[in-house]
């Protein structure tokens, strides 16, 4: 697997053919990899934070060429922007990322077996003529966003934050309205067919309303964790 140099200062990416990958893998696992993980290593990378800021959002891109010469790409994201103080990729820390996310989760969760779908997808990776890995984007805990961002994550995250802020503002406006008005607004938002971020946030607030009425819904709204505001 080919690995492209990272476009983000202080963030390194190590491919499986490098000594830094082997060293990083032991650092991440705390031991040598078990047989369960070994089949995934040729399609994995180690991302290392050598900078001075915590990484709260990471996108690693994998480009693949199939046996029929068709090109595919996927970006795997790790998002801690709602709780940047709990982000794991702090200065000096390394992270394992596999083109098959089941194996990334395997390392993060410490599971003892991969799901059948993950093993099947790994078989598909073996048939690829080429696999290439690169750092697609990074957001630091202070909101600074960097990288080529091939899937427009910056715009998506900004739009989701704006949507959530608007919903929270609606809740404040309705704070003194009859409970049925709050319930109606949240119920309508939960069914919004075009805005997943609005549906998701409203569902959490509606659960609060169902548990403790308007007061509980407002408490959850006021304690709602927005993602860190991003900037370039």
Residue 79 tokens read as 């998002």
pLDDT at site 174: 95
Q: If you count DSSP H runs as helices and E runs as strands, how many of each does the chain have, helices first?
A: 6, 8
Give per-residue pLDDT as tens, 128-137.
999 999 999 9
Provide the percentage of residues in the chain whose pLDDT is more than 90: 86
Which residues contact residue 75 at a Cβ distance below 8 angstroms, ignoring those fewer than 6 apart? Answer: 59, 60, 61, 62, 136, 137, 150, 151, 153
Say if residue 62's pLDDT is above 80: yes
Distance between CA atoms of 212 and 208, rounded to whole angstroms?
6
Residue 47 tokens read as 């991302």
Give per-residue pLDDT as tens, 104-145.
988 887 655 556 667 778 889 999 999 999 999 999 999 999
Give per-residue pLDDT as tens, 217-226.
999 999 999 9
Residue 177 tokens read as 């309205």
Give per-residue pLDDT as tens, 141-175.
999 999 999 999 999 999 999 999 999 999 999 99
Which residues contact residue 109 at a Cβ distance below 8 angstroms, ignoring those fewer than 6 apart? Answer: none
Q: Is the pTM of this model over 0.85?
A: yes
pLDDT at site 116: 62
Q: How many CA atoms lie within 13 A of 176 on its CB side?
A: 0
User: Strand pairing of 2-3 and 130-140?
Assistant: parallel
DSSP 49-93: E-SSS-EEEEEEEEEEE-TT--EEEEEEEEE-TTSGGG-SB-TT-
Which residues contact residue 105 at a Cβ distance below 8 angstroms, ignoring those fewer than 6 apart? Answer: 111
Average pLDDT over the chain, rounded to an integer: 94
Distance between CA atoms of 43 and 34, rounded to whole angstroms?
16
Give per-residue pLDDT as tens, 3-60.
999 999 999 999 999 999 999 999 999 887 878 889 999 999 999 999 999 999 999 9
C-alpha torsion 86→90→94→97, nearest 10: 50
């Amino acid at each position: 697997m080919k690995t492209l140099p990272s476009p983000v200062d202080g963030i390194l990416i190590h491919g499986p053919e490098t000594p830094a990958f082997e060293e990083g893998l032991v650092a991440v696992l705390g031991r040598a990899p078990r047989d369960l993980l070994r089949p995934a290593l040729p399609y994995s990378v180690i991302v290392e934070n050598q900078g001075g800021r915590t990484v709260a959002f990471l996108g690693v891109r994998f480009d693949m060429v199939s046996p029929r010469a068709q090109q595919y790409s996927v970006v795997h994201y790790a998002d801690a922007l709602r709780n940047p103080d709990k982000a794991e990729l702090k200065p000096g820390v390394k992270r394992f990322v596999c083109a098959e996310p089941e194996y990334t989760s395997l390392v993060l969760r410490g599971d003892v077996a991969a799901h059948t779908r993950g093993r099947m997808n790994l078989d598909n990776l073996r048939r690829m003529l080429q696999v290439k890995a690169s750092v697609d984007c990074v957001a630091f805990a202070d909101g600074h966003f960097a990288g080529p961002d091939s899937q427009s994550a910056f715009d998506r995250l900004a739009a989701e934050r704006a949507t959530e802020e608007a919903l929270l503002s609606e809740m404040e406006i309705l704070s003194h309205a009859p409970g049925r008005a709050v319930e109606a607004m949240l119920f309508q938002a939960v069914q919004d067919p075009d805005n997943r971020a609005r549906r998701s946030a409203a569902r959490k607030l509606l659960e609060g309303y169902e548990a403790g009425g308007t007061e509980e819904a407002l408490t959850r709204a006021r304690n709602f964790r927005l993602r860190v505001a991003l900037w370039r």
